């Protein structure tokens, strides 16, 4: 039995992968009728910090992982104190939950990012606009996702409004990344320290939400090697077990900067479900369960498109396309911008791809 904190689509696809390997999953989610519950062996519906639910998980699950990185840190500490085997460990989650800690960690590990500063007041923001130069992208340190909790700031006069606009919470200000495109690398580390890296994904965002991902991305061997070095550095420095998703900016000169990493399976890795020998969800389950990692080579080129809101209603159209594989998450309500599913459109690999 593997425990998963979080019951969204990532938990659902982890539970599917686990079931195929003969493993059962218990989901802990505050949401009744969560996407993962329909396929998991067991669901505990309770807040993430519910003592009885955490005790149940610690006693019944051989290993516990998460699919949602905003799980409160004390919940993981409680699980660890009860002797639960957490993969990845609490440190990876703590670092990834705070954008300032995350960028500080990345730089200390020798991995480049944009210039940044911690912002605790409008005065800090004015000082950063002076030192790092305008414009700056102000982001909340914690809790933001899919482009939420972010605002560009151009002038010192806008500092008060911008800081208040993000709720006067601890923030980070980032210099603009002068990128030609956004890439992502999905990688995994086993309990024994073995590392496996997938081919690079090219990602396209709209309104801060991932819209499309295309993989394997066209990239020079030098760029793929640089991404592999970054992945290995981050995984090793965190003594990480499981799959990680690392978002990258490719600069005009080809250098890579890390934007952020997610300590879990990642939307930019959904293409691996139909385009790789072993997909990211099976890979994560293998790592968490203490199995050897599987091969990551691409078998197809994949264009992954997220189905947001009502777009999922077109399932019949997609079902008629022979090159299209459909993944629907079983969510009841198609709110605008909500990730309801994705499609993977396959074509054969061309020479030099993968
Ligand atoms: P994030 O929430 O950090 O993943 O940011 C969401 C999206 O905003 C990224 O995928 C980029 O498209 C854009 N973005 C984030 N940080 C920067 C930055 N420092 N400079 C330019 N664009 C950024």
Q: Over the stretch 252-295, which tens digit does the pLDDT of each residue have?
A: 888 999 999 999 999 999 999 999 999 999 999 999 999 999 99
Tokens 């991404």 found at: 227
Pocket flag, ligand 1, residue 184 (CB < 6 Å): no
Q: Whose CA is nearest to atom 1 of ligand 1?
A: 147
Joined tokens for residue 248 = 């990258």
Pocket flag, ligand 1, residue 280 (CB < 6 Å): no
Q: In this model, does residue 147 exceed pLDDT 80?
A: no
Q: Is the peptide bond before 135 cis (omega within 30 degrees of 0)?
A: yes
Joined tokens for residue 266 = 């990642």
Closest ligand 1 atom, residue 176 Cα: 20
| More reliable by pLDDT, 149 or 215 | 215
Pocket flag, ligand 1, residue 146 (CB < 6 Å): no
Joined tokens for residue 130 = 């002076």
Pocket flag, ligand 1, residue 124 (CB < 6 Å): no
Closest ligand 1 atom, residue 150 Cα: 2
What per-residue confidence (pLDDT) applies to 350?
A: 86
Contact of 267 with 208, CB cutoff 8 Å = no
Q: Whose CA is nearest to atom 15 of ligand 1?
A: 259
Tokens 């020798």 found at: 110
Contacts of 308 (CB under 8 A, 6+ apart): 209, 211, 336, 337, 338, 339, 340
Contacts of 52 (CB under 8 A, 6+ apart): 46
Q: In this model, does residue 353 exceed pLDDT 80?
A: no
* C-alpha of residue 260 to centroid of ligand 1, in Å: 9
Contact of 73 with 91, CB cutoff 8 Å = no
Q: Work out the end-to-end distance of the chain between its first and last CA atoms, rounded to an integer number of angstroms.
A: 34
Residues 86-119: b if buried by 16+ CB within 10 A, e if exposed: bbbbbbbbbbbbbbbbbbbbbeeeebebbbbbbb
What per-residue confidence (pLDDT) applies to 354?
A: 63
Closest ligand 1 atom, residue 203 Cα: 10
What per-residue confidence (pLDDT) applies to 133?
A: 92
CA distance 156 to 153: 8
Q: Whose CA is nearest to atom 19 of ligand 1?
A: 176
Q: What is the pLDDT of residues 219-253, one digit of tens each?
A: 999 999 999 999 999 999 999 999 999 999 999 88
Q: What is the pLDDT of residues 287-344, one digit of tens each?
A: 999 999 999 999 999 999 999 999 999 999 999 999 999 999 999 999 999 999 999 9
Pocket test residue of 98, 140, 144, 147 for ligand 1, highest count of atoms within 8 A of CB: 147
E strands within the chain? Answer: 2-5, 25-29, 42-45, 63-66, 116-119, 136-140, 150-153, 171-174, 179-189, 195-197, 201-206, 209-215, 242-251, 256-262, 301-308, 324-328, 339-347
What per-residue confidence (pLDDT) applies to 146?
A: 60
* C-alpha of residue 259 to centroid of ligand 1, in Å: 7
Pocket flag, ligand 1, residue 208 (CB < 6 Å): yes
3-class DSSP state of 239:
coil
* C-alpha of residue 172 to centroid of ligand 1, in Å: 12
């Amino acid at each position: 039995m593997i425990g998963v904190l979080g019951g969204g689509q990532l938990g659902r696809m982890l539970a599917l992968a686990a079931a195929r390997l003969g493993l059962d999953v218990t989901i802990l989610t505050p949401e009744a009728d969560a996407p993962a519950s329909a396929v998991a062996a067991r669901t505990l519906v309770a807040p993430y910090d519910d003592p009885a639910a955490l005790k149940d998980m610690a006693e019944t699950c051989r290993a516990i992982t998460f699919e949602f990185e905003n799980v409160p840190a004390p919940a993981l500490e409680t699980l660890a104190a009860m002797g639960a085997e957490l993969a990845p460990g609490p440190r990876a989650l703590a670092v990834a939950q705070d954008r300032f800690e995350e960028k500080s960690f990345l730089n200390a590990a020798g991995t480049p990012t944009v210039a940044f500063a911690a912002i605790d007041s409008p005065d800090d923001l004015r000082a950063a606009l002076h030192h790092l130069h305008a414009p700056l992208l102000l982001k909340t340190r914690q809790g933001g996702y899919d482009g939420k909790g972010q605002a560009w700031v151009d002038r010192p006069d806008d500092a008060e409004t911008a800081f208040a606009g993000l709720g006067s919470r601890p923030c980070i200000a980032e210099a603009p990344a002068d990128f030609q495109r956004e890439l992502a690398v999905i990688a995994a580390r086993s309990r024994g320290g073995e590392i496996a890296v997938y081919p690079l994904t090219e990602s396209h965002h709209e309104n801060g939400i991932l819209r499309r991902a295309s993989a394997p991305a066209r990239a020079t061997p030098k760029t793929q090697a640089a991404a592999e070095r970054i992945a290995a550095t981050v995984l090793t420095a965190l003594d990480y077990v499981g799959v990680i998703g690392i978002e990258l900016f490719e600069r005009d000169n080809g250098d890579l900067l890390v934007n952020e990493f997610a300590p879990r399976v990642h939307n930019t890795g959904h293409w691996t479900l139909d385009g790789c020998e072993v997909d990211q969800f099976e890979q994560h389950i293998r790592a968490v369960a203490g199995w050897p990692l599987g091969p990551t080579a691409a078998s197809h080129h994949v264009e992954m498109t997220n189905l947001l809101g009502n777009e999922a209603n077109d399932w019949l159209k997609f079902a008629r396309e022979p090159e299209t594989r459909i993944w629907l998450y079983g969510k009841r309500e198609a709110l605008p911008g909500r990730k309801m599913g994705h499609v993977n459109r396959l074509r054969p690999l061309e020479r030099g791809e993968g």
